[in-house]
Structure 1
Amino acid sequence: MSRTHLSPLLAPVLAGMLFAAAAAPAPAQEFPPGIPFEMAGDVLDFSDTDTLGLTMAEGTETFTIFAPEEGGQQFAHGVVLMPFKGQLYAQWQSSARDEDGPDTVVVHAVSDNGSDWSAPAPLTTEWDGGYKSSGGWWTDGETLVAYLNVWPADLSPRGGHVEYVATTDGVNWSEPAPVTMADGSVLNGIFEQDPRALAGDAPDGARIVSFAHFQPGLIATPIYTDDPMGVSGWTKGAMTNLPTGNPDISRELEPSAYMRGDGALVAVFRDQGNSFYKLASVSEDAGETWSDPVLTNMPDARTKQSAGNLPDGTAYLVGNPHPNKARMPLAVVLSDDGYRFDRAFLLRAASDMQPMRFEGQYKRPSYSYPKSVVWNGHLYAAYATNKEDAELTRVPLESLTAQ
């Protein structure tokens, strides 16, 4: 059975949230073979380094989830959002000064309205054997799962595995436990933060598709499970990585996926090969097999992005869409059919960025690593500004879909 929409099991839970396209499947469409998608050439103005020639959609707002203070935590990165039981949860990695420092912990905050946020509360404690970073969220509506990426200091080449903690009330959390593969072994990879739910013929009616960067090293690999909790039963999908000069890390990194108008899943990758354009791969069988990744004409600052579908099926990609290392401005590009991305809106201009207040390893002016979700009639994009402020920008859905 083709999985082309949200599972009926999950639809009441995930209504208004961003996973696979919630709209009815579009009529069959023909797309050029071997080309997952394309960016229209007249959408972005690269001579305008402040806004890329883009304007903000009506109703766009930005809010701060966490701001650094003297004497407190001054590094934040990997901000991920998830709605759960009428509230919005944010998760990120936090440390006093440096990225991936030995004092790194994973924290979370909660909001009733998306604009006002609680103080950060820990999901992990400091670990003598290495550190843990944010792996994102999953929920079946009754339980909220926080994925935790575990990076042992003595592991060579650099890599890790996945744990999780869970809650039913947002207050009391379980003890950490391993996320497991279908054979019961630990998922020995770094979990990517954008799992997607698809409808289908699994016993419970659902399948979750994601990616992880597996050991040895960090090799991007598709994974899927029919466990509605997303903590067990993971199976590797088949995808051939592109050749690279470094056997410890794949050229494809940090993917995010959306559904195209023909029902195919499209994974969009950061290209570690320094092309400054996105790589992409396609699955037509619910994540079990994927085409060989190919280079697209979608520009990218060689950074993590967030892809997905709006409730009407519109495909989008949030990121820094220009071919250089500057992670600014922040924008969302959109496509009606998931093939041709032909319009875009500004989320944050380069000139809108607050100054970086504190020094730290790998910190620089940036809107880094956005992740997104649909909630209460808005598209929310969360990110780290200068790798020290956890922030979000939200846009009314009607402002994105109005033609």
Structure 2
Amino acid sequence: MKSIRCCLSLPLFLFILGVSSPAQDSKPLPPMLHLPGSEGDESKIEYDTLPLLSGAHSVVCAPDSQWKFQLHNYLLHHDGKFWCMWSHGPVVEDVPTQHVRYATSEDGLKWSESKMLSGPPAEGRAYIARGFWVRDGELLALAASYKGKGAFGVDKDLKLVAFAYNKADDSWKEKGVLYENAINNFTPQRLSTGEWMMTRRDARFNVSMLIGGTKALNDWQAFPVVDRKEAMATSKFSPDEPVWWEQQDGTLVSAIRDNGGSLRLFRSVSRDHGHTWSAPEKTNYPNATSKLFTLQTSRGFRVLVSNANPKIGRREMHLAVSQDGLTFTRMALLGIPQDKPSTLQYPHVIEHEGSLYIAYSRTKANTELLKVSLDDVERLLKGELPARQPVAISAPARPADSATVLAIPNLVAFWDFQEIAGQARASKGGDHAYALQEMQGPVAQVEDGVFGPYAARIKRGQWLMVPRKDMGALDIHGKDAQVTVVAWVKRGDKASWQAIGGVWDETRKKRQYCLFLNAPRGTKADEMKRYPLANRIHGHVSAVGGPTPGDEFCITYSSGATEIPFNSWQCLAMSYDGKASRVFVNGKLDSLEQYNPFPYPDGLFDGGADGADFTVGAVHRGGSWGNFFDGRMGGLAIFNRALSEDELAKLAALTPKQNTKPKPVVKSGDQSAAVDRAKRE
């Protein structure tokens, strides 16, 4: 039976006695990053001149037309060969039917066909690959098992399980549960005490360390590192995917990704073998809100592999080196071949016979590996790798008129879509940065922008997404909630029900707010019935998450009077002030009696930790992704306040001039005229 010993007793006991814990007595750490010429200032890093660290490239598992998702890759060299495992799933991350697959290789470059490791999960469940672990000579593979979409939230039945390898028949069989309500980041490592330790997140993203694993597979004790709710309240730190390592003096160091928008790593230390930890502090080490990995090499220096340039998201991967394990003094760009821009993420590194083997995922669709010589890494540490020549910036700076958007109070996020295809779209303004990740392939950058020379060309079937766990202030909900969504779009398709942007999941009844284009019908507020009303925009709001009570669908939304033209930049907006939903076309309230404004005093639904993602260009409905937008996106802004018409007019004034004007259908608010015209068309 798994140990359930309380892990809070030591710090609490010391607090009662008025005695500091060993972690609290720790001396200040030196800067985590200090590159030559930067003076410890991360803003001075010249990424385009960083040395290039090249190597041999290999594809472990190519894209699969049926199982399109690959991530969470882990490596091991065991029993004379290389092993690689990863999460394999349909379309997007961490949905039911996702399982674990693996492949093997004699040399780390030529890989076998992939095989199922975990077996199919039970109905409604999924697995996330969590790494290989050799315990008492037995080869184990760890996986997180959970219910529904995503491992985090309410009623996830999250557990960390182990599968054991049977060499005789080349098969894997589930061995047991290591710990309930737990997902590790990497497999256990030995402490100098002889015990095993690994990081743990529970279903609420709270971070702790699990220590044990020697007496029995399920004998672990949890020691807290950071409480996510408390950290968010005090420092807006949203911890995720921690790593740890042990220094020569026995000090333990943990580096933690932050989903709160700081774009920096946080760091915590323990001086009592992981039993107590200092409060995590923000470091000067940049991170593009992505997973990292660190490894102590046989040559005495430590390497850290991550996406270290937040300005370009996960388009590049970097390796840094440290002689003392605390301050990384050199950094290089990993020479991963790219025919076209793509995202590179979630590295795992092992050392074998003078080389580092670095596994990673490309576009979350295929698993790859880069083999790098340790001699070259040592040359990097000594400053012997030459700097690269600077390259010209591919896109000119954003015009100053974006300052108008950034200056309006209560801005949560603003995207100008100047990034190239394959790169996450990073928000500006607000308290945090939010990265819109591409779904279903790279979203093209085209020369036709609003806040710069470029726009995003979203093709039907593509969309962009900020996962629920990274949404932060985009999760606008509550009885008194207010929201404004402003989008600069160029419509390219006549399909009905095109989602522009918001938090809206119809499949799981997790609707909150969303701006839509071209619903075939609008809801007449005084009758709560829908009538034909095509080619308009609509401000959808929901306080219940599911269908409107008494109806098969959610029908609480405003609808405008103006038909939105094709191939012409338009500034489209919705607002909700806690009393009514409204839509605006080019800065003006698009009034239509009983349709816009649409009275709705009920507030916005709270989807909780497992609520809807923030999506642009699609929503989840009917069990799959749909309601696709097709066209160009030049800008998108989210405010947690209902903007005034004057403020929206200022934003609309930023729209490029065009020849095609929106066609007002109904000026008088005569609903019957709108219905008649819709029927004729």
User: Where on the TM-score scale, by shorter chain, does this alignment land: which range?
Assistant: 0.7 to 0.9
Instruction: Give the direction of change, closer, same or farther, for the CA distance of 1:254–1:325 in structure 2 (3 Å limit).
Output: farther
Aligned equivalent of 1:75, options 69, 75, 78 = 69
- Native 8 Å contact 1:197 1:208 kept in 2: yes
Alignment of 1:314-353 (within 5 A): 314-324=301-311, 326-348=313-335, 352-353=337-338
- Native 8 Å contact 2:191 2:246 kept in 1: no
The aligned counterpart of 2:133 is 138
The aligned counterpart of 2:349 is 372
Aligned equivalent of 1:162, options 144, 160, 163 = 160
Alignment of 1:142-153 (within 5 A): 142-153=137-148
Residue-by-residue CA offset, 1:114-137 (whole Å, 9 max, x unaligned): 001111111121431321111111
- Native 8 Å contact 1:194 1:257 kept in 2: no
Aligned equivalent of 1:61, options 56, 60, 70 = 56
1:178 maps onto 2:177 in alignment: yes
Q: Distance in 2 between matches of 1:106 and 1:378?
A: 27
- Native 8 Å contact 1:269 1:279 kept in 2: yes
Instruction: Give the direction of change, closer, same or farther, for the CA distance of 1:271–1:36 in structure 2 (3 Å limit).
Output: farther
Offset at residue 322 of structure 1 (A): 1.9
The aligned counterpart of 1:220 is 207
The aligned counterpart of 2:541 is none
- Native 8 Å contact 1:241 1:292 kept in 2: no
The aligned counterpart of 2:378 is 401
Aligned sequence identity (%): 23
Q: Distance in 1 between matches of 2:348 and 2:29?
A: 25
The aligned counterpart of 2:192 is 199
Amino acid at match of 1:396: S
The aligned counterpart of 2:614 is none
Offset at residue 149 of structure 1 (A): 0.5
Instruction: Give the direction of change, closer, same or farther, for the CA distance of 1:280–1:165 in structure 2 (3 Å limit).
Output: same
- Native 8 Å contact 2:207 2:225 kept in 1: no
TM-score, L = length of structure 2: 0.47
Alignment of 1:247-286 (within 5 A): 251-286=238-273
The aligned counterpart of 2:222 is 236
Aligned equivalent of 1:389, options 327, 347, 366 = 366
Instruction: Give the direction of change, closer, same or farther, for the CA distance of 1:210–1:175 in structure 2 (3 Å limit).
Output: closer
What secondary structure is seen at the aligned counterpart in 2 of 1:139?
strand
Amino acid at match of 2:181: N
Offset at residue 317 of structure 1 (A): 0.9
The aligned counterpart of 2:438 is none
Q: Distance in 1 between matches of 2:49 and 2:250?
A: 32
Greater CA radius of gyration, 1 or 2? 2
- Native 8 Å contact 1:43 1:342 kept in 2: no
Offset at residue 47 of structure 1 (A): 8.8
| Larger RCO: 1 or 2 (CA < 8 Å, sep 6+) | 1
Offset at residue 314 of structure 1 (A): 1.1
Instruction: Give the direction of change, closer, same or farther, for the CA distance of 1:212–1:67 in structure 2 (3 Å limit).
Output: same
Q: Distance in 1 between matches of 2:161 and 2:28?
A: 36
Instruction: Give the direction of change, closer, same or farther, for the CA distance of 1:117–1:137 in structure 2 (3 Å limit).
Output: same
What secondary structure is seen at the aligned counterpart in 2 of 1:340?
coil
Q: Distance in 2 between matches of 1:48 and 1:384?
A: 25
Q: Distance in 1 between matches of 2:281 and 2:73?
A: 28
Instruction: Give the direction of change, closer, same or farther, for the CA distance of 1:245–1:297 in structure 2 (3 Å limit).
Output: closer
What secondary structure is seen at the aligned counterpart in 1 of 2:376?
helix
Q: Distance in 1 between matches of 2:274 and 2:32?
A: 21
Q: Distance in 2 between matches of 1:130 and 1:85?
A: 32
What secondary structure is seen at the aligned counterpart in 2 of 1:38?
coil
Amino acid at match of 1:366: T
Q: Distance in 2 between matches of 1:158 and 1:150?
A: 12
Aligned equivalent of 2:293, options 284, 294, 306 = 306
Instruction: Give the direction of change, closer, same or farther, for the CA distance of 1:265–1:128 in structure 2 (3 Å limit).
Output: same
* Unpaired stretches in structure 2, ≥5 consecutive residues: 1-25, 383-681
Q: Distance in 1 between matches of 2:218 and 2:143?
A: 14
- Native 8 Å contact 2:237 2:258 kept in 1: no
Offset at residue 313 of structure 1 (A): 2.7
- Native 8 Å contact 1:143 1:168 kept in 2: no
- Native 8 Å contact 1:260 1:315 kept in 2: no
Offset at residue 42 of structure 1 (A): 3.6
Count the aligned residue pairs.
Answer: 346
- Native 8 Å contact 1:36 1:282 kept in 2: no
What secondary structure is seen at the aligned counterpart in 1 of 2:171?
coil
Instruction: Give the direction of change, closer, same or farther, for the CA distance of 1:344–1:233 in structure 2 (3 Å limit).
Output: same
Amino acid at match of 1:191: N
Alignment of 1:66-145 (within 5 A): 66-69=61-64, 71-124=65-118, 125-140=120-135, 142-145=137-140
TM-score, L = length of structure 1: 0.78
Q: Which has the higher helix share?
A: 2
RMSD of aligned C-alpha atoms? 2.9
Instruction: Give the direction of change, closer, same or farther, for the CA distance of 1:245–1:265 in structure 2 (3 Å limit).
Output: closer
Instruction: Give the direction of change, closer, same or farther, for the CA distance of 1:343–1:158 in structure 2 (3 Å limit).
Output: farther
What secondary structure is seen at the aligned counterpart in 1 of 2:377?
helix
Offset at residue 36 of structure 1 (A): 6.0
Offset at residue 53 of structure 1 (A): 2.2
The aligned counterpart of 2:490 is none
Q: Distance in 2 between matches of 1:156 and 1:314?
A: 39
- Native 8 Å contact 1:43 1:343 kept in 2: no
Residue-by-residue CA offset, 1:351-389 (whole Å, 9 max, x unaligned): x33448xxxxxxxx3111111111222112111011111
